[in-house]
Chains A and B, each alone.
Chain A
Amino acid sequence: MNRNCRYSLILVIGLWFGGMGSTTALDFGELVDLGNKLKKIVSDVPVEEEVRIGGNLVSGLLGAAPLVEDPALQQYVNDVGYWVASRSSRSDLPWTFGVIDSDGINAFAAPGGYVVITLGLYNLLQNEAQLAGVLAHEVAHVVRRHHLIALQKSMRREFLTDLTVLAADDKKKGRKLENLVNAGVQLYATGLDREDELDADLRGVVLAARAGYDPFALLDVLTTIDSINPTAEELTVMLNTHPPIADRLNRLAERMDGRLDRFASGRTNPERFRRVALNP
């Protein structure tokens, strides 16, 4: 099925769902079937549409905190991120990374290949492998389309309507796009499902290992974050939006145990990381 046909199908399903009144009675089987169709819709969102949605979402984040004005730092983070992302199944996305000027301790991903990390988190890192681990976690969110699925869940019928309007280049496009962006930006405050975070941890350490880095470096980062006073203001959003770090560490370590040991000698490149950090 070519892209146009596939997208037509999305529109048809979208309109079909959009046309269902809220009073329509559905039994459980129908709901499951509907859920499966919705997931299919998310996976069939064309790449260019996904990139456009992601670009709008990340613009919202950049509105909250601009990029750090340090071209060498931004290029370095893009090189690390691009290399890690190239080891994923969606290496063809226009991967774009950025460090934002915020003392918050967090990282965010947006559909289509956008990833930002706060300066507060960057300053906690000790080497390139840790940076790669953080970026790989975010890359995994994009690869698995976690944000699109979460948007679909939170907006339900409106999400489909918005996508169809975007595709049809309707006059209402601007307003609909704004709704979609607002819902997406809100997602950064409320967070993804806990299991999505654990899924991204598991996938992230594998991407880091594929890229030649020590995959255990992500555990070091989580340990560092875990040792920060939970009342610290910088952590508020992180703790609201992620499962308890102790839970993540335990489950991640259990799944990694014995399976990634041979990659523990992967590169960490602390010298290169420090060189970039020392040249603002």
Chain B
Amino acid sequence: MKLHFKICALFIFLATPLQAGQDAIVVREAVVYSASSSTSQAVGKIAAGSRVSVFERKGGWKEVYFEQESIVGWVRGYQIREASLAPAMEAESGSDSRGFLAGLAAFSRKASGFFRSSNSTTSSGTATIGVRGLSEAEINAARPDYDELKKMQQYASNNVRLVEFRQIGQLSENNVKHLAADKKQAKSTAANRVSEK
């Protein structure tokens, strides 16, 4: 019954223009479960590249509908990606995954970097409008820039600033214990352990 209701709701939804965030692409082959747990029954698989619709999210799980095979169920959230997001690769060519305006902001920053580098003695090879990254060669060839370090330290936050920041952001404190490592990691970190209070 619940399944029928959701499929009916989907038909109504498809009759209206698609809204950002409701469509998603499966980025890696995903096993579909009947509930938001890997211990629940597996009801199918969806291949990478398939388009699905997302109903809701619960923890690290998202409930999806895969029209091609009429599968409704839960997949791990990281296995799908909002279809409304431009492919991240476009970031390389100057566009931005957060949309046109944010792309402009990014462009503006790159442009300011370009003009700064042409008018100052900063010897960085990265302050250009191009798409060069922080390559291994650049890291290895870099000379320490202590003036930039001082500048960086000027922006450091403090407990006074944090009060307003937390208040506006409605950020609460939670008590959460660290997660146990899996066997492979436990073995490795035991060998590297440095006491943490």
Contact with B along A92-114 (1 / 0, CB 8 A): 00111110111111100000001
| A13 nearest CB across to chain B (Å) | 15
- Which residue in B78, B156, B193 is a CB contact (below 8 Å) of A222? B78
Contact with A along B163-197 (1 / 0, CB 8 A): 00110111111111111111011001100111111
**CB closest chain-A residue, reference B159:** A86
Q: How far is the CA of A64 from the CA of B122 in the complex (A)?
A: 10
> Is the pair B135, A237 in contact by a Cβ cutoff of 8 Å?
yes
At the interface, yes or no: B144 with Cβ under 8 Å from chain A? yes
At the interface, yes or no: A123 with Cβ under 8 Å from chain B? yes
> Is the pair B124, A63 in contact by a Cβ cutoff of 8 Å?
yes
At the interface, yes or no: B4 with Cβ under 8 Å from chain A? no
**CB closest chain-A residue, reference B137:** A189
Q: How far is the CA of A81 from the CA of B175 in the complex (A)?
A: 18
> Is the pair B97, A124 in contact by a Cβ cutoff of 8 Å?
yes
> Is the pair A145, B124 in contact by a Cβ cutoff of 8 Å?
no
Sort chain A's interface into a size bin. Answer: 35 or more
> Is the pair B194, A67 in contact by a Cβ cutoff of 8 Å?
no
- A-side residues, CB < 8 A to B, are 39, 42-43, 55-56, 58-71, 74-75, 77-79, 81-83, 86-87, 89, 94-98, 100-106, 114, 116, 118-120, 123-126, 128, 143-146, 149, 181, 185-186, 188-189, 193, 195-196, 198-199, 202-203, 205-206, 209-213, 216, 219-220, 222-229, 232-237, 240, 246, 249, 251, 253-264, 266-267, 269, 272, 274, 277-280
30 contacts between A and B (CB under 8 A): A43-B194, A58-B152, A60-B142, A64-B138, A65-B124, A67-B151, A75-B155, A79-B161, A96-B156, A98-B152, A102-B133, A102-B134, A105-B91, A105-B133, A106-B134, A118-B133, A123-B91, A124-B88, A126-B98, A186-B139, A206-B176, A210-B175, A219-B60, A219-B78, A224-B85, A228-B87, A237-B136, A251-B182, A260-B59, A261-B59
